[in-house]
């Protein structure tokens, strides 16, 4: 009983002393600068490292269709598009910055809400822009994380969290791998994910720095549902935005 109380007190003390900040940036360079020796870096994928080359398949399109189709319907349609779409890095320098962090020997992983069903397409998309998140992965084996909402899995340097909270997933990943990084650096375009990772790691007593990353914000704001609708209509070959605008008679 005494031991339990002591453990709880020690955990509480650790939680209070953990350093945590959420910063706002539009440049992945800031994330690289925070990724010092001894740190551990986790990147969101969509609108952080990569985005589709057209409106269809984007995260902002997913948000739009989930209002019409519900979350499961939207995931199904979004996943179908991922099997076909090409992607580009969010910034011109994205891929070289990821490689630069990896070249320092800093462990890097992906932490995405993508479902496991698109794992293969995701790896191909990342490879197409010169990103290999398995290069400095701290663990080579796949790890399965059974979940009450959805099963998650770590494979090839990426945690496919699905509907699970990213904060829960990173803590479970650290528990399973026994890793004790001095600080975790995490970048994501969505405030709900930076908040979830921040609170989960801080509660665990792990120093953490989150970047709410906004390089894709302008394109998210400029989302045009009509462009995406035309592209979906001609889905067998994805139209670029210009062709879709022409076909929509504007």
The binding site for Mg ion (CB under 5 A) comprises 44, 46-47, 189
Spatial distance between the Cα atoms of 124 and 208, rounded to a whole number of angstroms: 30
Q: Are 208 and 20 in contact (CB under 8 A)?
A: yes
Residue 197 CB, nearest approach to Mg ion (Å)? 12
Closer of 44 and 183 to Mg ion (Cβ) = 44
Token pair 């989960």 in the structure block, residue = 200
Q: Tell which phi-psi region holds residue 249, choosing left (phi > 0), alpha (psi between -120 and 50) or beta.
A: left
Residue 138 CB, nearest approach to Mg ion (Å)? 22
Closer of 113 and 201 to Mg ion (Cβ) = 113
Closer of 91 and 244 to Mg ion (Cβ) = 91
Closer of 30 and 189 to Mg ion (Cβ) = 189
Residue 47 CB, nearest approach to Mg ion (Å)? 4
Closer of 49 and 244 to Mg ion (Cβ) = 49
Closest chain position to Mg ion (CB): 46
Could you tell me the CA-to-CA distances from 160 to 96, 118, 194 in Å, in that order?
Answer: 23, 9, 16
Q: Are 40 and 179 in contact (CB under 8 A)?
A: yes
Residue 216 CB, nearest approach to Mg ion (Å)? 8
Q: What are phi and psi of 234, to 5 degrees?
A: -100, 40
Q: Can you read off the two tokens belonging to residue 193?
A: 């994910």
Residue 117 CB, nearest approach to Mg ion (Å)? 18
Q: How many CB atoms lie within 10 A of CB 142?
A: 10
The count of C-alpha atoms lying within 13 angstroms of the C-alpha of 84, restricted to the half-sphere facing its C-beta, is 15
């Amino acid at each position: 009983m005494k031991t339990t109380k002591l453990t709880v007190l020690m955990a509480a003390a650790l939680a209070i002393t953990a350093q945590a900040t959420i910063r706002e940036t539009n440049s992945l360079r800031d994330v690289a600068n925070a990724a010092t020796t001894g740190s551990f870096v986790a990147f969101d994928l969509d609108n952080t490292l990569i985005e589709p080359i057209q409106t269809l398949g984007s995260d902002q399109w997913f948000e739009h269709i989930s209002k019409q189709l519900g979350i499961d319907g939207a995931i199904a349609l979004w996943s179908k598009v991922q099997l076909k779409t090409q992607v580009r890095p969010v910034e011109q320098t994205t891929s070289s910055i990821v490689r630069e962090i990896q070249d320092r020997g800093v462990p890097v992983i992906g932490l995405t809400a993508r479902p496991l069903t698109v794992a293969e397409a995701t790896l191909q998309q990342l490879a197409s822009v010169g990103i290999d998140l398995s290069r400095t992965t701290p663990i080579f084996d796949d790890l399965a994380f059974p979940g009450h909402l959805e099963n998650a899995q770590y494979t090839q340097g990426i945690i496919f969290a699905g509907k699970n909270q990213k904060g829960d997933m990173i803590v479970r990943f650290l528990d399973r791998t026994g890793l004790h990084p001095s600080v975790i650096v995490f970048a994501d375009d969505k405030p709900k994910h930076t908040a979830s990772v921040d609170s989960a790691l801080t509660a665990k007593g792990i120093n953490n720095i989150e970047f709410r990353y906004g390089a894709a914000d302008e394109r998210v704001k400029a989302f045009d549902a009509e462009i995406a609708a035309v592209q979906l209509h001609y889905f067998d070959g994805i139209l670029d935005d210009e062709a879709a605008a022409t076909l929509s008679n504007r």
